[in-house]
């Protein structure tokens, strides 16, 4: 391999490669020796394709299934799911300085919260755009086949 200087010891860099169809964190080890650079690349996680993203408003959302969400890899990210409302929709009035409403319902056991009063009910098929927080989604928009409900950002 050659001589390695004491001042140039091996370096490590974490690189994220993000192509439309492949994303994997990579560790690259660079060994700098006399007039040559030797490096190795180890792919740590490369399980194939990234989920499809859709644009809504000014943001992009990962189009995911409920099973993909329950794995927990997308916590804190913008996600879009589609499903059937399981239970009765609960609408709460919040009487504070600026009165508002909070709507909650479940899709496949996942709690959805929305700031407003969407006209949806049990058995409706909806698309939910929002931020995944681990045990549920804080919805920014709810889309049905009849309407689109959007909150302020």
Pairwise CA distance, residues 54 & 19, whole Å: 16
Which tokens hold the place of 98? 């600026």
Q: With beta carbons less than 8 A apart as the criterion, state whether 127 and 82 touch.
A: yes
| pLDDT of 96 | 82
Q: What is the DSSP letter of 44?
A: S
| pLDDT of 105 | 97
Domains of the chain: residue spans and CATH: 1-50 (no CATH), 53-150 (2.40.50.140)
Rounded to two decimals, what is the model's pTM?
0.66
pLDDT in tens, the chain (153 residues): 455 555 555 555 444 544 444 444 444 444 444 444 444 444 444 455 667 899 988 899 999 988 888 887 889 999 999 999 999 999 999 888 788 899 999 999 999 999 999 999 999 999 999 999 988 999 999 999 999 999 976
């Amino acid at each position: 391999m050659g001589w390695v200087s004491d001042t140039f010891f091996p370096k490590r860099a974490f690189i994220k490669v993000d192509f439309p169809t492949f994303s994997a964190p990579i560790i690259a080890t660079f060994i700098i020796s006399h007039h040559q650079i030797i490096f190795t690349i180890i792919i740590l996680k490369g399980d194939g394709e990234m989920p499809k993203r859709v644009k809504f408003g000014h943001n992009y959302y990962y189009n995911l299934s409920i099973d993909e969400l329950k794995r927990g890899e997308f916590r804190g990210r913008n996600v879009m799911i589609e499903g059937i409302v399981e239970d009765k929709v609960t609408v709460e009035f919040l009487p504070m300085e600026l009165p508002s409403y909070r709507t909650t319902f479940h899709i496949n056991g996942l709690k959805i919260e929305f700031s407003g009063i969407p006209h949806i009910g049990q058995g409706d098929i909806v698309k939910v755009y929002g931020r995944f927080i681990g045990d549920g989604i804080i919805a920014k928009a709810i889309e049905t086949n009849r309407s689109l409900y959007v909150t302020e950002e």
